[in-house]
Amino acid sequence: MNRRHFLRSAVALPLSQAIGGTVATFGNARVALAAAPVNAKYNRVLVLVELKGGNDGLNTLVPYADPVYYALRPKIAVKRDDVVQLTDHAGLHPSLEPLAALWRDRQLAVLQGVGYPEPNLSHFRSIEIWDTASRSTEYLQDGWLTRAFAAQPTPRAFAADGVIIGSGDLGPLAGGGTRAIALANTDQFLRRAKLAQPVPITGNPALAHVLKVEADIVQAAANLDAHYKFRTEFPSGNFGSAIHTASQVIANPSGVAVLRVTLTGFDTHANQTATQSRLLKDVADGLVALRSALVELGKWNETVVLTYAEFGRRPKENVSGGTDHGTANVHFALGGRVAGGMYGATPDLGRLSGDGNPAYALDFRSAYATVLDQWWGVDSQAALAGRFVPVPFLKA
């Protein structure tokens, strides 16, 4: 393999695609690569952290030098003195103070103004757009990672393509084809997995789904163990447990390309301050524990962590001491090979749209492209249905 195979695949493509310029070129490459998964670096791990409900980015990365920010948020703005300053105009919410050390080590990338054109303000539609990497007006069934793994499969010996921890929805791994394992914790999974039996997959879609899940359980259970004893102390609470479980999965020698953990409760329409402070503390403590655990395993340099959410929240606070659904948001990328610093652009609070939201500066699919093209070395075009310029938040 396999120049000949490559050429044959390219030739076999319909003419319409073959003359389609860049798209077709990458389309051809995808066909060839699907049969040749040798170059993908799936031994590198992606950890997705979903801040479900739509975390308020403006109180996460606070533009503490901007008087417009304080004018928009008389009740809920983070006081200048409380901000953990990162630059001369932006700083972290005080609950995120534990991340300051990562920033100093230049392992924390802050992605500003992350969004997409024609934003949708529905939780469900917007997270669907993020999970499927679709355009705002386009409805896709499969998650973006499902498409990526379909185009370029993970090694057969992997325990699973991805592990979803403590959440019912498979998000970016939804749709047919992926080997996605949802579990609450590894011990329980392995204990119960003995009840699963492999049966050939057949029948109507519901039956085929049950049979496939059962087969995936058998494969994952045969390749996962959960006996690593960490010196790292994990925070108590659900998110800390999820981070512990993620660390257990990563400790296994048989691979898993992606893990997703979820923290819920960010839909802060009312009395935001206390809720968000608590949640961001969970985030910071959890991420710091994850780094410690992965450093312990020697895998911190082989891991990139990326946060995401369906949308940000409106700059102007509402009457209930909360914020309504917004658009562009702040996200974090962290890891041993992350090139720390600020990316994207600070939202211009003086220039909000008719519904009171800032324009986006950085398409979320560009962050995905970074993971696909630069982290795993697979073609992002297949998963993202378009060419998105990666955000250079990874070290060369």
Partner 1 sequence: MTMPLLRCLRTFALSPLLACATLAHAAGAPMGYDDARHLLARTGFGPTAAEVDVYAAMPRSDAVARLLRETRTSATTPAPAFATEAGPLRPPARDASDAERKAFLQQQVRYGLAMRAWWVQEMLVTPSPLTERMTLFWHNHFVSSQQKVRVARLMYAQNVTLRAHALGNFGTLLHAAAKDPAMLVYLDSAQNRKGQPNENFAREVMELFTLGEGHYGEADVKEAARSFTGWSLNRETGGYVFRPGVHDYGSKTVLGRTGNFDGDAVLDLLLAQPATADYITIKLWREFVSPDPDPREIRRVAQAFRMSNYDIRVALRELLSCDAFWASETRGTLVKSPVEFVVGTLRQLEIVPPEGLPFAVLAAGMGQNLFSPPNVKGWPGGNAWIDANTLLARKQFIDRLARADEGPPQLSMAAMAQAPAAAPKQALSPQGIAGDEKARAQRLAREADRGLRSVHFDAVAWLGARKTSASGGKESAAQALLLALPPQSPMPAADDALAFVRATLQDPVYQLK
Positions touching partner 1 (CB under 8 A) are 53, 121-125, 164, 166-170, 180-185, 187-189, 191-193, 195-197, 199, 202-207, 209-211, 213-214, 216-217, 220, 236-238, 264-265, 267, 269-270, 274-275, 278, 318-320, 324-325, 355
The nearest distance, CB 326 to partner 1, in angstroms, is: 12
The nearest distance, CB 132 to partner 1, in angstroms, is: 15
Which lies closer to partner 1 via its Cβ, residue 316 or residue 395?
A: 316
Q: How far apart are CA 259 and CA 209, in angstroms?
A: 21
The nearest distance, CB 335 to partner 1, in angstroms, is: 26
The nearest distance, CB 204 to partner 1, in angstroms, is: 5
Which lies closer to partner 1 via its Cβ, residue 124 or residue 350?
A: 124
The nearest distance, CB 214 to partner 1, in angstroms, is: 6
Q: How many alpha carbons fall within 13 Å on the CB side of residue 64?
A: 20
Which lies closer to partner 1 via its Cβ, residue 39 or residue 122?
A: 122
Q: How far apart are CA 192 and CA 185, in angstroms?
A: 11
Which lies closer to partner 1 via its Cβ, residue 212 or residue 395?
A: 212
2 cis-preceded (ω within 30 degrees of 0): yes
Q: How many alpha carbons fall within 13 Å on the CB side of residue 22?
A: 7
Which lies closer to partner 1 via its Cβ, residue 140 or residue 362?
A: 140
Which lies closer to partner 1 via its Cβ, residue 39 or residue 188?
A: 188
Q: Do residues 221 and 252 lie in contact, with contact meaning Cβ atoms separated by under 8 Å?
A: no
Angle of CA points 304, 265, 83, to nearest 5°: 65
